[in-house]
Structure 1
Amino acid sequence: MKKQTIKFLVLGLICVLTFSCKEDPLPKPAAQLRLDYKVAEYDHFENECPFTFDINSDAVIKEKTACNFTIDYPKMKATIYLSYKPIQGNIDVLLRDAQKLTYEHVIKADQILEQPFINKDDKVYGMFYSVNGNAATNGQFYVTDSIHHFLDCSVYFYAKPNFDSVMPAASYVKNDMQHIMESLRWK
């Protein structure tokens, strides 16, 4: 009986050693939050200002001063600043200021892409700047009719600039900015 017990113990020990041998545990890599946003739906925005545009229905628009707005994205901690200025023989100064504002981010930006915008039918002309990298803003634009109206726009996130972490939100808001620019009409 002793011999049989020893066989069972040896067999049991072999089974335990065989099935308990696993690979060394490895730490899991740090997970990144996946940011998915629903497809944007747009509402037409119009008030007494000399322009109209379409705005994302999830955004909150507030008029700060006469025809100067903030468009907030609370879920993304982002704000679009939209500023209107009438042209009074100062189109060169307005254009230079808008371009200067964009290129102040060149220190932190990896790349600034310029995309001209021309809508001859509605007399809306401008430039969209896509700022890539760890800059304070990821997108800016200006539009004008070259005679009476000038509007500039930029987006800022309330987070430390880290392009990799805000990229999904930045891309979403940049698409909204482009939609604002493309839907803008002068009255």
Structure 2
Amino acid sequence: MSIRFYIFLLSSCILFISCDSDVLPKPEAFLSLEYPKADYATIFSECNYGFEKNNVGTVYFKNNCSAVIEYPALDGTLFLTYRKVNNNINSLLRDAQKLTYEHVIKADDIIEEKYVNEQQNAYGMFYEVKGNAASQSQFYVTDSVQHFITGSIYFNAKPNYDSIYPAAVYLKNDIRHLMETISWNEN
């Protein structure tokens, strides 16, 4: 037998003996995103309502009293729609609820939270939509006689709840704060 055969045999044995380590699975890890602590400023519209907005977002009012709040760092936008109440409160309520429940096809769950603030004369509902729906948080607030506001958050990405979850939670808290600080300024 040649020396090459012995070298090959010895190399093969060393390889088989040295490759006896156990394969360990990687530990679970979660994406760690940190967002700035919310810093709120009071904003008033020309349409007799105001609210506290997180300074991370930029607000743009439209001619019809509605508003858009853009969150560039979170790649999301909050759309506020303002409607005057003219003996049509039932219709406005139905439309707001219908808008939320259109997401039921993609949603895993929709959690409703009633909102009542008698001091501000503000009543409404906050919806948290879980799953791959287009909007993760929505609300409506009204005084039942003059003002009606709906709000919906949308991200500028295909809905993937796992990917947008940290931003969705941050904005959910932000939107809830905005909703709870809506006030009416009567002329």
TM-superposed deviation, 1:77: 0.8
Q: Which secondary structure does the structure 1 equivalent of 2:87 belong to?
A: coil
Aligned match of 1:77: 75
Using the TM superposition, name which of 128-137 and 34-43 deviates more.
34-43
Q: Percent sequence identity over matched residues?
A: 50
- The structure 1 segments of at least 4 consecutive aligned residues displaced by more than 6 Å after TM superposition are 24-27
Aligned match of 1:120: 118
Unaligned runs of 5+ in 1: 1-12
1:107 to 105, 129, 133: 105
Asked if 1 retains the 8 angstrom alpha-carbon contact of 2:132 and 2:160, the reply is yes
2:148 to 131, 147, 150: 150
1:130 to 128, 135, 138: 128
Q: Which AA in structure 1 matches 2:95?
A: D
TM-superposed deviation, 1:30: 9.4
Q: Which AA in structure 2 matches 1:143?
A: V
Distance in 1 separating the partners of 2:107 and 2:41: 32
Distance in 2 separating the partners of 1:31 and 1:159: 23
Aligned match of 2:43: 45
Q: What TM-score, normalized by structure 2, do the two folds share?
A: 0.84
Task: Confirm or deny that 1:61 pairs with 2:68.
Answer: no
Asked if 1 retains the 8 angstrom alpha-carbon contact of 2:45 and 2:61, the reply is no
Distance in 1 separating the partners of 2:157 and 2:118: 38
Q: What is the root-mean-square deviation in Å for CA atoms of aligned residues?
A: 2.3
TM-superposed deviation, 1:34: 2.2
Distance in 1 separating the partners of 2:35 and 2:66: 27
Aligned match of 1:89: 87
Using the TM superposition, name which of 26-35 and 54-63 deviates more.
26-35
Larger Rg: 1
Q: Which secondary structure does the structure 1 equivalent of 2:33 belong to?
A: coil
Q: Which secondary structure does the structure 2 equivalent of 1:118 belong to?
A: strand
1:121–1:30 distance in 2 versus 1, CA, 3 Å: closer
1:169 to 167, 170, 181: 167
Q: Which AA in structure 1 matches 2:183?
A: R
Q: What TM-score, normalized by structure 1, do the two folds share?
A: 0.84
TM-superposed deviation, 1:33: 3.8
Distance in 1 separating the partners of 2:113 and 2:169: 15
Alignment length (residue pairs) = 171
Unaligned runs of 5+ in 2: 1-9
TM-superposed deviation, 1:66: 2.6
Q: Which secondary structure does the structure 2 equivalent of 1:65 belong to?
A: coil
TM-superposed deviation, 1:122: 1.1
TM-superposed deviation, 1:28: 5.7
TM-superposed deviation, 1:29: 7.6
Deviation string 1:72-105 (CA, Å, 9 cap, x unpaired) is: 1101110000011000111111000000000000
